[in-house]
Structure 1
Amino acid sequence: MTIRFDNSYAALPAGFYTRLDPTPVKAPRLLAFNDDLATLLGIAKDDLPDLAATFAGNSVPEGAAPLAQLYAGHQFGNWNPQLGDGRAILLGEVVGTDGQRRDIQLKGSGPTPYSRMGDGRAWLGPVLREYVVSEAMHALGIPTTRALAAVETGEPVFREQGALPGAVLTRVAASHLRVGTFQIFAARGEIAHLKTLTQYAIERHYPEADGPMGLLTAVRDAQARLIAQWMSVGFIHGVMNTDNCAISGETIDYGPCAFMDVYHPNTVFSSIDQFGRYAYSNQPDIVVWNLAQLATALIQQTSDKEAAVEEATAIVHAIPGLIREHWAEMFLRKIGITNAQDGDLDLVTDLLQRMAENQADFTNTFRSLSAESTRDQFTDPAAFDSWEDGWRARVAQEADPISVINAANPAFIPRNHRIEQMIDAAVAGDYALFERLGSVLSTPYDDQPDHADLKRPPKPDEVVPATFCGT
C-alpha cells in the first residue's frame, strides 16, 4: 500500500503525545473500504490482504509516525485533567489531491498510556455506526470526520453484553485538535507548549487568524455554523464534551449520537446524559460553554490578561447571535424561503411548535412540504392545515420554493432503528443492510423511490430509546 505521509503533529514536542504502534490483531478481515475517500487522499490500494493488515494496525505503513495524542477535557461539565487517545493511534497525515491536510487515525487499535484501565478496543457495532453516520453527514454537506476503512479483528471484545466481535475503524479528520488539547497545557501551566499548539493550530487551520484571539474567533465562527447545521437535520451529538469539540469545526465522535425521528426540542438519546445536558435544544448553549473553556485556556499565554479577558468575552458572547443567524437562514430554506421578510421566522417557530405537539417526524415533515402529504405527519392533521394557508401565501412570493425545500431537506437520514438493525445483522454475519445504507445515504437529497422503506419512522417496537458510547 502506498500512503504519502507528511507528518507535522509528530514533529511537535514529545509532551504532546506518546509514540507507539497499534497492537496487532488475530485475524484481520476487511469489511469496508472507502474508494472515493482513498482517491481524495491520494492512496493507491494494492490487494485486500494488505488493506486488512494495514487498517487493523498489524502492518504499519512506511512513513507513518504512530502516536497517541494527549488532551484533557470537561466531560458533562466535570473537569478531567488527563484524557488522551485511549483506544486510538494517529498513523500520520497526508496532503490530499485537493491540497488539504488530513489525519489518518486507527480507532480501536489497542491500549495506550491514556486508556485508563480500558482495553483500547472497539466492537463491531460502534465501528459500523460511525462508518455509516459520518459518511452520511458528509453527504449531507455537514463538516465531519470521515471513514476510510472498517476491519474485523477476529478477536472478541468484552462489554456489558458479553463477548462481541472486535473491529477497527480508520477515521480521517482535518485534525484531531480539540478544545481539550489546549486545556491540558493551560491547566498544567505549560505555557510554551500552549503557545506552540496555538501557532500550530493557526497555521494548520486558520492561517488568516491573528494570535490567540484570532484563533478563538475562527473556531467560534466554524462551530456556530456547525451547530446550526446539526439542528437543521435533527442531529443530536450526545457527548459534546470539550474533548469532543474539534478546533477544525468538524463533527467528531459518533458514539451516542442520533437523528431525531419524532420532533421534540428536549430529545435526548445518550444513555449517559441523565439530565439532558446535551439535548437537541441545548446544543447552542453547550457550544458557548465549550468555547468559553477554549477562551480560558488561550488567555493563559497572553501578556495582558485583563485585555485578553475582555476581548475573549466579547468573542464568546457573540456566539448565540451567530448561531441564530445561521439557524434562521437554514430553517427558512427548509420551508422554501430564501428572501427573508419580517414574520418569516414566526412561520418556522409556529410549525416546530405544532410538530412537537403532534408527534410529527422531523425529517419527513420538512421534506414533504414539497409534496402534498405533510398533514399526514401530524396526529391532528388540522394542526398543519391551520398553518398551511399562511405558509403557502408566503412562499408564493418565492421564485422556486420546491427546489429550495428539496435542497435543504434530506429524504434520507441514518435512522436509529435502521442502524440497530444493521448492527444486529452484521454481528450475525450479514452486511447487506450496512452496504445498502451506505449506498442510499451517499445521496440523501435524492428521492430514491426503490428505497422508500428507509424513510419510514420506527414502529413502536423498533424505537431506540437510548444510544451508547461502546466503550
Structure 2
Amino acid sequence: MTISVPFDNSYARLPETFFRRTPPTPVGAPKLAALNRTLARELGLDPEALSGADGVNALAGNAVLPGSEPIATAYAGHQFGHFVPQLGDGRAILLGEVVDGAGLRRDIQLKGAGPTPFSRRGDGRAALGPVLREYLVSEAMAALGVPTTRALAAVVTGEQVYRETALPGAVLTRVAASHIRVGTFQFFAARRDADALKALVEHVVTRHYRDAAERPDKALALLEGVVARQAALIAQWLHAGFVHGVMNTDNCSIAGETIDYGPCAFLDAYNPMAVYSSIDEHGRYAFARQPAIAHWNLTRLAESLIPLLADDVDQAVAKATTTLDGFAPAFEAAYVAGYRRKLGLETERADDMDLVQDLLDRMAEGRADQTLTFRRLGAFAETRDHAGVRDLFDEPTAFDDWGVRYHERLAAEPDAAAERRARMDRANPAIIPRNHHVDAALRAAVEDDDLAPFRALSAALADPFARDADASPYAAPPARDADPIRTFCGT
C-alpha cells in the first residue's frame, strides 16, 4: 500500500549550520510493535498503510518517503550543570514536518535510526526497553493532559544493540511540536553566531509564538513565552507526580512540551526528594527541585539571547532578569490553581496553599501514595467516608484533623457534592504509569518477546480518569516493602 505523508519541512530550509543531512540506516528485519492509530489519523496519515510492509519499512528507517528530508539537528547543552558545546541528535533523525488536522505543525522523528554526525562514537541505535518506556510514558502524559511529545509507532528492528549486554533493538517514531531546545540556542550562542540566533528566533516565534510575530523585540517576546510555558508545564509535572530524571538544557523544549523520556518515573509514595535515575547521584533533578532547575535552564536560554535583547549589555541583562523573575509567580499561580482543581475547590482563598502543603507534608511523613490520595479525596469530599484515604498513611490518624479542616473549607464551596466529585475525578487520575507495572511490561517484551503486557498497560493508560479505572489492577501501588525502582537513560 502506498504511503503518503504531506511533508512541509521548514526547519530543513534554515541554513545548514542548523543540521546535518543524514539518512536513516536500514535494519535487518523490522516488525511493528505498536502503532498509535489515533495519532496517525490526527496527522492525516493512514493507519492501515502505516501498518503494512511499506509503512513498517518507513517507520524503521529502511525507506525514505517522498517529501522527507532526513536531518540530524545541532544543539549544545548543560548536562548535570556542565556545558557541552556540541551535542546534537546522536541517535535521532528528523524525517520532516506535517501540518495536522488542527493546523498545527508537527515534527516526525525516528529515534534509534542509526548513527549521525553527532553520535560521538555511539551506534545511534535504541534498545527495545527504552523505546517502549517512552511510548508508554509519553502517551500516558498526553492522556493526563500534560503537554508532551507523542509516540506514533515502535518497531522492533530484528537486530541487537549492545549496552551492558546484548538487547533487542527498536526504533521509536516520535511526534513533537518541534524538537528545538534551550540547547539549540546555546549551540549558536557559544559560537557567537548572531545571524544564526536571529534566524532561530524568527523560526521559533513564527512556529510557536505567533502572537509575538509583530513585536519588534522578538527575542524578548520569545523568552517571555518560553518562561510562561515552562512554568505551567513544571506545575503539571508536580501535580501528576512526574520526575523527569534528566532535566539538562538539551532536554528542555522551547515549545513547552515534555521531551526526552529517559530515566523518568512517577511517584508512588509521596516523597519531595524522590530520585529514580541511576545517573542522578546527587539528586540534582529530584522531584521537588524541578521548578528550580527549570528556572536555571531558562536562565541559560536568557544568557544565549543577550546579544539580541539590547545593544547595551546592561540593558539586555536587565530585560532578561525581569523576564526570568516572572517564572516564580507564574509557576506558583499554576501550581496553586492545579491543586485547587485536585481538591475540588472552585473559589479561592489566600490560605488554600497552606491547606495543600499541610497535606503534602503529612503524605511525605506517612508515605501516602501520591496518586491514590488525591483520587480517593473525591469520595471523601462527597461522602465524608475517610477510610479509603487515611488507610494510605503509615499512621492513619495523621490524616484525621486535616480531613476536618478540608471539610470546613468545602463548606464554603457553592457546588453540590456529587458535582464536586465528578470534577475531582476528572482532575485526579486513577491510573498512572506505575513503575512496577512499566517494569513488568518491559521485562516481558525484552526477555520473553511478549508484547501483551505492554499493550494491556498501554490501553489502561489511555483512559486514566475513568470511574471504573479505580478497580483496574494497573491502579494498584507496589507493595510497601518493594525495592525502590531505578531507571536508566538507555543511551
Give the TM-score category using the shorter length. Answer: over 0.9
Indicate how the Cα distance of structure 1 residues 322 and 342 shifts in structure 2: closer, same or farther if over 3 A, else same. same
**1:271 is matched by which residue type in structure 2?**
S
Equivalent residues in 2 for 1:72-221, closer than 5 Å? 72-160=76-164, 162-209=165-212, 210=215, 211-221=218-228
- 1:270 Cα deviation (Å)? 0.9
Q: 2:42 is paired with a residue of what secondary structure?
A: helix
Q: 1:458 is paired with a residue of what secondary structure?
A: coil
Task: Tell me which residue corresponds to 1:384.
Answer: 399
Structure 2 gap ranges (5+): 380-384
- Which of 338, 347, 352 is equivalent to 1:339? 347
Task: Tell me which residue corresponds to 2:486.
Answer: 466
State TM-score, norm by structure 1.
Answer: 0.98
- 1:202 Cα deviation (Å)? 0.4
Q: 1:300 is paired with a residue of what secondary structure?
A: helix
- Which of 24, 27, 50 is equivalent to 2:26? 24
Worse-superposed segment, 101-110 or 378-387: 378-387
Task: Tell me which residue corresponds to 2:11.
Answer: 9
Task: Tell me which residue corresponds to 1:353.
Answer: 361
Q: Distance between the aligned counterparts of 1:94 and 1:135, measured in 2?
A: 19
Q: 2:211 is paired with a residue of what secondary structure?
A: coil
- 1:460 Cα deviation (Å)? 5.1
Partners of 1:440 and 1:451 within 8 A in 2: no
Partners of 1:337 and 1:404 within 8 A in 2: no
Task: Tell me which residue corresponds to 2:382.
Answer: none
Task: Tell me which residue corresponds to 1:366.
Answer: 374
Task: Tell me which residue corresponds to 2:332.
Answer: 324
**1:226 is matched by which residue type in structure 2?**
L
Q: Distance between the aligned counterparts of 2:479 and 2:195, measured in 1?
A: 56
Q: 2:486 is paired with a residue of what secondary structure?
A: coil
- 1:447 Cα deviation (Å)? 2.8
- 1:404 Cα deviation (Å)? 2.7
Indicate how the Cα distance of structure 1 residues 451 and 470 shifts in structure 2: closer, same or farther if over 3 A, else same. farther
Structure 1 gap ranges (5+): none
Q: What is the alpha-carbon root mean square deviation over aligned residues?
A: 1.2
Worse-superposed segment, 188-197 or 336-345: 336-345
The one-character-per-residue Cα deviations of 1:46-82 (angstroms, maximum 9, x if unpaired) are 2521121010000111100000000000001100010
**1:245 is matched by which residue type in structure 2?**
C
Q: 2:34 is paired with a residue of what secondary structure?
A: strand
Indicate how the Cα distance of structure 1 residues 461 and 431 shifts in structure 2: closer, same or farther if over 3 A, else same. farther
**2:330 is matched by which residue type in structure 1?**
L
Q: 2:472 is paired with a residue of what secondary structure?
A: helix
Partners of 2:156 and 2:169 within 8 A in 1: yes
Q: 2:98 is paired with a residue of what secondary structure?
A: strand
Partners of 2:242 and 2:265 within 8 A in 1: yes
Q: Distance between the aligned counterparts of 1:140 and 1:440, measured in 2?
A: 12
The one-character-per-residue Cα deviations of 1:419-449 (angstroms, maximum 9, x if unpaired) are 1100011111111111111111111111335
The one-character-per-residue Cα deviations of 1:399-426 (angstroms, maximum 9, x if unpaired) are 1432232121111000111111000111
Q: Distance between the aligned counterparts of 2:250 and 2:268, measured in 1?
A: 27
**1:419 is matched by which residue type in structure 2?**
V
**1:190 is matched by which residue type in structure 2?**
D
The one-character-per-residue Cα deviations of 1:22-55 (angstroms, maximum 9, x if unpaired) are 0000000011111111111011242521121010
Q: 2:95 is paired with a residue of what secondary structure?
A: strand
- Which of 256, 261, 266 is equivalent to 1:254? 261
Q: Distance between the aligned counterparts of 1:459 and 1:144, measured in 2?
A: 30
Partners of 2:90 and 2:117 within 8 A in 1: yes
- Which of 421, 429, 436 is equivalent to 1:402? 421
Partners of 2:430 and 2:470 within 8 A in 1: no
State TM-score, norm by structure 2.
Answer: 0.94
For this pair of structures, how many residues does the alignment match? 470
Q: Distance between the aligned counterparts of 1:387 and 1:278, measured in 2?
A: 30
Task: Tell me which residue corresponds to 1:430.
Answer: 450
2:285 is equivalent to residue 308 of structure 1: no
Partners of 2:343 and 2:424 within 8 A in 1: yes
- 1:19 Cα deviation (Å)? 0.1
Task: Tell me which residue corresponds to 1:48.
Answer: 52
Partners of 2:226 and 2:255 within 8 A in 1: yes
The one-character-per-residue Cα deviations of 1:297-349 (angstroms, maximum 9, x if unpaired) are 01123423321210110100110111111101111221111211132221111
Q: Distance between the aligned counterparts of 1:7 and 1:158, measured in 2?
A: 33
The one-character-per-residue Cα deviations of 1:168-220 (angstroms, maximum 9, x if unpaired) are 00000000000000001011011111110011110010012231000000000
Worse-superposed segment, 418-427 or 333-342: 333-342
Worse-superposed segment, 313-322 or 403-412: 403-412
Q: 2:39 is paired with a residue of what secondary structure?
A: helix
